[in-house]
Amino acid sequence: MTHILSSQTSERELVQACKRRDRKAQEATFKRFAGKMMAVCKRYLGSGPLAEDVLMEGFMKVFMKIDLFQEQGSFEGWIRRIMVNEALMALRKEGKMKFQDTDFGFEIGQLEDAYMNLQVEEINILIESLPLGYKTVFNLYAIEGYNHQEIAEMLGIQEGTSKSQLSRARGLLQQKLNKLHV
């Protein structure tokens, strides 16, 4: 199975080998996707040991549940969904999943020039600085692509709460952008 370790190995071949519980294929899968999935974990949990733990737990779940992957969508997308769910479970377990209804008293305007000048790292810092509930909903909606109904189900909140958290997250990001580019 040495061909499994190649970066050219197709996703399908990798999945099939993982379904056979091939350790080298599991290692290759981890190496191929760990960086991207760590970014997912950090988006929800910040840098640190909790994100690392969730990454490892997530990959353990990937390999234990690989037989459930139907190969109808992207393998990376399937892994990402597991990582998001693991991160959300970790937030719940830590008791950090709280949603704020604070009104920051800002107006949303157009700052297209400010957006154009932002670097990815600056955007990540701004998102990371959001209150946890805002950041979680923003990440799920804007980055992961979940809709409000899915987010509500995942977080155990009302759909309207998801919408308001997203709106407030956007507003707070806008406020932070205004301060950056005054």
**Each residue's pLDDT tens digit, 68-97:** 998 888 999 999 999 999 998 898 887 766
Q: Which domains does the chain have, with CATH numbers?
A: 2-93 (1.10.1740.10), 112-180 (1.10.10.10)
Evaluate if residue 104 carries a pLDDT over 50. no
Q: Is the pLDDT of residue 58 over 90?
A: yes
| pLDDT at residue 113 is higher than 50 | no
- pTM for the full model? 0.66
Residue 179 has pLDDT above 60, yes or no: yes
- 6 has a pLDDT exceeding 70: no
Q: Residue 142 has what pLDDT?
A: 87
SS (H, E, C) the chain: CHHHHCCCCCHHHHHHHHHCCCHHHHHHHHHHHHHHHHHHHHHHHCCCHHHHHHHHHHHHHHHHCHHHCCCCCCHHHHHHHHHHHHHHHHHHHCCCCCCCCCCCCCCCCCCHHHHHHCCHHHHHHHHHCCCHHHHHHHHHHHHCCCCHHHHHHHHCCCHHHHHHHHHHHHHHHHHHHHHHCC
Percent of the chain's residues with pLDDT above 90: 46
Q: Between 102 and 91, whose confidence is greater?
A: 91
